[in-house]
Amino acid sequence: MKTLFVVSGGDAPGINAVMGYYAALATRYGHEVAGARDGFAGLVAGRIVPLTGDVIGPWVSQPGSYLPSSRVPVLKDAEGQQAMADVLAQHDIDNVILFGGDGTLRYIPPIVAQLGIPCIGLPTTIDNDVPGTELTLGFDSACNFAYHAIDGALATGRALPGRIFMVETLGGFSGMIALDVAFGAGAHAVLVPEYAYDDAWLGARLLEAAQRDGYALLVLSEGVAASRTLFDDILRWTNIRVRDIRLGHAQRGGIPTHRDRSLAAQMARLSFEALNADVLRGTVVVRGGATLLHEGALDGPERLPDVSRYNFVNGFDPDYEPARN
Ligand code: F6P
């Protein structure tokens, strides 16, 4: 059996761990593994490289992706799909393991499966916004990275009172990272793209927190519409020093945590078993806390930040129903 890895979209901590564990398993059972460089853009151009456990092994603990990814929609027309079919045939690829987020896992597996080539999807994005799974690979590491930054800032927050810290997380159009981090870090307020907030409420809340606790901590997601202008607004509303920390892509490059490495190991084992059992299409998901293979198309409700946590961070009012943005 020859399996091809393709990474599409944003990289996430833990991808290399899946590759390393899978390659080790495949080698042990006498199978081959190859990888597409540069995602599907590289695949259709024939950039296929062999992968063995000893090549990928040293990368297991590293964030990012040994195989570079891309976000180019090369499979949107018949020409691109034919080019992919040709390359898969030329390289004797029996099946594909696809690493990606919501867009990738929704649109690509049916195209690959149409060729009769089994395809197992692995939800890999720090954003944790893939419907059908409670957890995506990389989310835990990205949250942990944020705690390091917040803990550092709050050392000064406590030692030298009189500051409002704004910590901006990644997350694209999703507030899952910002909300979980705000909850876990005991933030005074959180802003996520999904829920509306009021300027006067935010200003008063931060001012009150800074006067009471000596500092205020606001966590916000990069997808919040006003994220670029809030710094000046908060200073104007409160007249307290505002300190702005944007985690940016450094957050996506956090060291894979224990939880992500465990999930990576399970993803490797379950996808290896599924491909050995000739499952045509499936996704490794986390449901009810258990990691399992979901066969067929992946679906599920839109992933929204948990309102009860949002209310807890933003005012301890469990009955408050925030307006959707
Ligand atoms: O992969 C998801 C993500 O990390 C988002 O959180 C973020 O908005 C985006 O990717 C950043 O990636 P790019 O630099 O390609 O826009």
Neighbours of 260 (CB within 10 A): 30
Report the largest interatomic distance among the alpha carbons of the chain, rounded to a whole angstrom: 67
Please tell me whether residue 226 adopts helix, strand or coil conformation: coil
Q: How far is the CA of 171 from the centre of ligand 1 (A)?
A: 7
Annotated catalytic residue 213? no
The confidence band for 316, taking pLDDT boundaries of 50, 70 and 90, is confident
- pLDDT digits over 86-135, tens only? 999 999 999 999 999 999 999 999 999 899 999 999 999 999 999 999 99
User: 204-221, pLDDT tens digit by residue?
Assistant: 999 999 999 999 999 999
State yes or no: pLDDT of 33 exceeds 80.
Answer: yes
What 8-state DSSP symbol labels residue 124? B
Q: What is the pTM of this model?
A: 0.97
Pocket lining: 170 vs ligand 1, CB cutoff 6 Å: yes
Res 325: pLDDT: 87
Tell me the two tokens of residue 134. Answer: 């409670």
* pLDDT of amino acid 322: 87
- Quick one: which atom of ligand 1 is closest to the CA of 252? 4
Q: Which residue owns the Cα nearest ligand 1 atom 15? A: 10
Q: Which residue type does 185 have?
A: A
168 lines ligand 1 (CB under 6 A): no
Q: pLDDT category, 321, cuts 50, 70, 90?
A: confident
Q: How far apart are CA 260 and CA 135, in angstroms?
A: 10
Quickly tell me which residue has 């399970």 as its tokens: 266
Q: Tell me the average pLDDT of the chain.
A: 96
Residues 89, 91, 95, 96, CA torsion sign: negative
CA separation (Å) from 24 to 139, 212, 272? Answer: 24, 55, 11
- Closest C-alpha among 216, 164, 225 to residue 195: 225
Amino acid in position 163: R
**Neighbouring residues of 228: CB distance < 8 A, sequence distance ≥ 6:** none
Picking from 208, 209, 174, 214, the residue whose alpha carbon sits closest to that of residue 191 is 174
Q: At residue 318, does pLDDT exceed 80?
A: no
Check residue 94 and give its pLDDT. 98
H/E segment holding residue 246: strand 241-246
Report pLDDT for 317. Answer: 81
266 lines ligand 1 (CB under 6 A): no
Q: Give residue 218 CA to ligand 1 midpoint distance, Å.
A: 21
Q: Which atom from ligand 1 is nearest to the alpha carbon of 223?
A: 8
Structure tokens at 298: 């992946």
Q: Is 166 in the pocket of ligand 1 (CB under 6 A)?
A: no
Rounded CA gap, 175 and 303, in Å? 10
Q: Which of 11, 127, 140, 180 is catalytic?
A: 127
Q: What is the residue type of 123?
A: P
Tokens encoding 41 = 């853009």
Nearest CA to ligand 1 atom 1: 10
pLDDT digit string, tens, across residues 230-261 = 999 999 999 999 999 999 999 999 999 999 99
127 lines ligand 1 (CB under 6 A): yes
Contact 188 CB / ligand 1 (< 6 Å): no
pLDDT digits (tens, 9 = 90+) for 134-172: 999 999 999 999 999 999 999 999 999 999 999 999 999
